[in-house]
Amino acid sequence: MRFLLLLLIAGCSEAHAVAPKKAKLPLGEQLVREASARPKRAVRPEQLIEALAAKGVTIARHRQVLASPVEASYCEALTTAQGLGLALCEYADADAAANGRAQSKRAFDRLIPGRALDTNANSLLTVTAAGNDEGERQRELARRTFAALQPR
Amino acid sequence: MFKPRLTIPALMALLAPSGALASSHREAPFITKNPKADATDFYIFKSYEPGRQDYVTIIANYQPFQEPYGGPNFFNMDPEAIYELNVDNDGDAKEDLTFRFRFDTQLKDLAVDAGGKKTSVPLVNIGPVSVNDASNQNVTESYTVQVRRPGKNEDVTNWKDGSKVFAKPLDYVGTKSLGAPEQYEAYAKAHVHDIKIPGCEAQGRVFVGQRKESFAVNLGVTFDLVNAPASIVAGGTTREARSLAPSSLDENNVTSIALELPVACLKGGKGDIVGAWTAASVRQVRIVNPRSTYELPSFEGGAWTQISRLSNPLVNELVIGLKDKDLFNNSKPKDDAQFADYVTNPSLPELLEVLFGSAGVVAPNVFPRADLVAAFLTGVPDVNANGSTAEMQRLNTALPATEKGKQNSLGAAACFVEGVLKLDNAGCDPAGFPNGRRPGDDVVDIALRVSMGYLLPKASAPSGQIAFTDATLQEDSQFDAVFPYLTTPLPGAP
C-alpha cells in the first residue's frame, strides 16, 4: 500500500514537473542558457569573422544577442567597421534554420526593410540594408563568404 | 581577439530591479525616501489654449505613484521643502528667473461630539467640500510664489486682490466628498489664479493641485523587454501599433505645479530660446521630534539642499548610471560636464541590440553620440540651441504653438530625415519635443527611436529608422485644450 502511494506521488510529481520557460528567465540568464546550448555543428560567427578578415573586412564589434526572437539556439550580432550590421544564428538543424528564417521574415521584414536572410546548413545569416556603396559591397561579400563556409 | 562590449553580468546589472521605472518617478535611491520632493515630469511649451499664443506654460509634476485612495493624509506638499521652476534665458546654464513655491498646511482640528466629549477627527474632511463651503475641510493647504532674479527676490501676487497667498484644492478624496469628476474639475479650476509677476507687464496664471498622472509608459515592454514580443517593440509604424498596451501609470495621480507666463517676461529682453528645469530642496539637517505635534514633527534647519532635479524625461531614469543618480539630483545644469559620458556613450542602444540583434537591429556605431548631445545637452542648431552644454529642456519661443488635435505625438523629431532638419517633412511639428515638451508628446517612443539613431545618417545608425515603440500611445487627445492642460485626477472612491 505504502509502495503504491509512493508511486502515485512520484507519478503526480512527474506529471506536474514543468521545464522553466525561456521567456520567463531574466535576460542575463537566458543568454547564459543559450550560450551553453549551441549546436554541435554549425557555421559559426567565429568562422565568418575570420573569413571576412581574410578578405579585408574588419568586424569592429560582435556580441552574443538574444536568440529567441528568431527561434534560434544561439545568435551573435556583428558590425563591420563601416557600420554594416549582421546577425549569425545557429539552429539545432537545417529545418529549424529554415523555420527561423521564415519566422524572422514574418515578424520583421515589414518593420526592418531591406534585410537579406540566407541559410547555410543549420545557420542563418541576416544582413541589414547597406547605407552606401561600400556597405553594399560588404553586404554581398558577407553573403558569399557565409555561403561558402562549412559547418564545424 | 574580440571582446563583447557589454558583458552578461553587466547586462544583468542593467536589468536588475531598481524600483518602478517611469519618466522620473523614484528614479534615484535617495529620492525614494523623500516622495514629496520627487519631481516626476517636466513640461515647457508654447500655450496652445486658444487666445494664449503669447504665453508659455511650465508644468512640474511631483509625488509619484499616488494611489487615488491614499488617505487619510493624501498628498500634501512638503511645508519644509522648496519647489522651484528655473529658467535660463541667456544660454549660460544658470537660472536667470526662478519661481519658488513654498507650501503651508493648516489644521482646523475639527471635532465631533462623542459621548459628551469633543473628539478630534482623524480625517481631512468630515463632509462635502466645495468652492463655496469649506467648513467640513479639516486640513487646508496654501502656497506662496516668489520670483527670484539675480539680486532681487519678489512676491508674486493675486492679480485681483493683491494677496500673496494662494489656495490649493483638496485632493480628490472621493465623489461623496467632492462630487463627480466634472464637479471636482470645476472646484479645481476655481483654484487657477490670475497672477501679477513683478517685472512682467501682462498677467500670468498659476495652479497647484492634484491631476491624473500625465506620463504614459508600458513598463513591461519598455523595461522588461525579454518578455515582450519583438514585433511589438519594433512595430510602431501606425497609431494602432503604438496603442496596444495600457499605461502602467493609468491608475495614478500626481501633484502638478503649473505656471503660465507671458513670453516677453520669460525672455527678459534676451533671445527667443529659453532653457528650463525644476528642482526641489530640503533643509540639510532634520532632527526628529520625539514628542511630535502636528505642526512640529521634526526640527529642520541648515542650508537648502537640492535633492530632486528634472528637465528632459528619462534622463536620470535611463541615462545616468545608478551610482550617479543621487548626485545628478543634487547637481545644477552648469555642472553637467561631469555626466557627459552617459550621453555620449549611452547604454540603452546596446541593450536594444542585445534584445533584437538576431533580427538585424544594430546600435549606432558612432561615439561620442553628437546627436544625443544635441538632443539633450545643447539643443538642435538653428532650432533651439542656446549656446550652453547642459541638460535642460529648451524651447524656441518664436515658434508658434500647434493647436490640440493637430499635434504630432512624435513632436519635432518628425522634422528630421536621417539627422537633417527638414521643416517641410510630412508630420513635422516643431512645437513639440525636444523643442520643449507638451503633455501629448510621446517621449518614450521618441527616446527609443532617437537613442537608436533616428537623428543620425543611415551609415552610422543602420536601425535608426525602425519605428520602436513601447506600444503605449501618448497624444494630445488625452489632455485638455486649456490651462493647466493636465486632466481631472482619479477619485479616491467612485
**Min Cα separation B3/chain A (Å):** 7
**For B170-209, what is each residue's pLDDT tens digit?**
999 999 999 999 999 999 999 999 999 999 999 999 999 9
**Min Cα separation B239/chain A (Å):** 14
Decide if A77 touches B, using CB distance below 8 A: yes
- Contact assessment for residue A70 and residue A106, using Cβ atoms and an 8 Å cutoff: no
The predicted model gives B223-235 an average pLDDT of 57
- From B9, B227, B235, residue closest to A23, measured CB to CB: B227
Decide if B316 touches A, using CB distance below 8 A: no
Decide if A97 touches B, using CB distance below 8 A: no
Find, in chain A, the residue whose alpha carbon is nearest to that of B5: A63
**Min Cα separation B470/chain A (Å):** 15
Give me the total of CB pairs closer than 8 Å, taking one residue from chain A and one from chain B. Answer: 138
From chain B, the residues in CB contact with A84 under 8 A are 462
**For B113-149, what is each residue's pLDDT tens digit?**
999 999 999 999 999 999 999 999 999 999 999 999 9
Verify whether the Cβ–Cβ distance B463 to A23 is below 8 Å: no
For chain B, the three-class secondary structure string (H helix, E strand, C coil) is CCCCCCCHHHHHHHHCCCCCCCCCCCCCCHHHHCHHHCEEEEEEEECCCCCCCCEEEEEEEEEEEECCCCCCCCCCCCCCEEEEEEEECCCCCCCCEEEEEEEEEEECCCEEEECCEEEECCCCECCCCCCCCCCCECEEEEEEEEEEECCEEEECEECCCCCCCEEECCCCCCHHHHCCHHHHHHHHHCCCEEEECCCCCCCEEEEEEEEECCCCCCHHHHHCHHHCCHHHHCCCCCCCHHHCCCCCCCCCEEEEEEEEEEHHHHHCCCCCEEEEEEEEEEEEEEEECCCCCCCCCEEEEEEEEEEEEECCCCHHHHHCCHHHHHHHHHCCHHHHHHHHHHHHCCCHHHHHHHHHHHHCCCCCCCCCCHHHHHHHHHCCCCCCCCCCCCCCEEEECCCCCCCCCCCCCCHHHHHEECCEECCCCCCCCCCCCCECECCCCCHHHHHHHHHCCCCCCCCCCCCCCCCCCCCCCCCHHHCCCCCCCCCCCCCCCC
Residues in chain A, pLDDT under 70: 1-25
**For A28-44, what is each residue's pLDDT tens digit?**
888 999 999 999 999 99
Question: Quick one: pLDDT at residue B217?
Answer: 82
- From B15, B234, B459, residue closest to A83, measured CB to CB: B459
At B227, phi and psi to the nearest 5?
-100, 5
Q: What angle do CA A152, B1, B3 make, to 5 degrees?
A: 105
Find, in chain B, the residue whose alpha carbon is nearest to that of A123: B358
**Min Cα separation B404/chain A (Å):** 30
**For B149-172, what is each residue's pLDDT tens digit?**
999 999 999 999 999 999 999 999
Prediction pTM value? 0.86
User: How far apart are alpha carbons B205 and B57 in whole angstroms?
Assistant: 9
Verify whether the Cβ–Cβ distance A83 to B462 is below 8 Å: yes
Report the percent of chain B where pLDDT is more than 90: 69
DSSP code per residue over A34-86: HHTT--SS---HHHHHHHHHHTT--EEEEEEE--GGGT-SEEEEEEETT--EE
Verify whether the Cβ–Cβ distance A65 to B460 is below 8 Å: no
Decide if B466 touches A, using CB distance below 8 A: yes
Helix axes A27-35, B8-15, angle to 10 degrees: 160
**Min Cα separation A150/chain B (Å):** 21
Grid cell digits, residue B8: 552578461
Question: Quick one: pLDDT at residue B219?
Answer: 66
Higher pLDDT, residue B466 or B438 = B438
Residue B402 neighbours by CB under 8 Å, 6+ apart: B48, B408, B429, B431, B432
